[in-house]
Amino acid sequence: MVKIQSEQMLYNRMLVTGAINYQKLGYSNIKINNEKYANGLPNKVCGYVPDLSAVLDDEIILCEVVTNDSINEIGVFQKWKTLSQCSNNFHMIIPGKDFEMIKNMMKSNGVNVNKYWFSKCC
């Protein structure tokens, strides 16, 4: 149970940090998949709700946060592949220590990521 809580805390921290960083970079209409977030939830895209959505230069970006637990979820690669196909700008926030491994996993599973962000927190 402790591992699940720590993974959820890591996910939440990476999600909120990602939203703050997008705001600092000039993105607007930032929404995260957390009911407590004041700006609301991202809209469903191609049947899935992304972890984060934001707008820059009138273009919507979709972003997913990757943790060790999320990689092992059933159907997650299909979700990521679908979101990457439904967006011209699909981003991922990943733990820095797992950067190369996750990048290779995305390629081998047909997930087209336009931009990788890595978190120094883990």
pLDDT of residue 119: 77
Q: How far is CA 49 from CA 3, 62, 86, in A?
A: 25, 9, 12
- The SS3 of residue 43 is coil
Q: Please say if the pLDDT value at position 60 is more than 80.
A: yes
Cα–Cα distance measured from residue 65 to residue 33, given in angstroms and rounded to the nearest whole number? 10
**Predicted structure pTM score:** 0.89
Q: Please say if the pLDDT value at position 122 is more than 90.
A: no
**Banded pLDDT at 42 (limits 50, 70, 90):** very high
Q: What are the sequence ranges of the domains in the chain? A: 2-119
Cα–Cα distance measured from residue 18 to residue 116, given in angstroms and rounded to the nearest whole number? 11
Edge-to-edge strands, sheet with 90-95: 28-32, 52-56, 59-65, 90-95, 115-119
Q: Please say if the pLDDT value at position 2 is more than 60.
A: no
Stronger pLDDT, 35 or 53, i.e. the higher one? 53
pLDDT of residue 121: 62
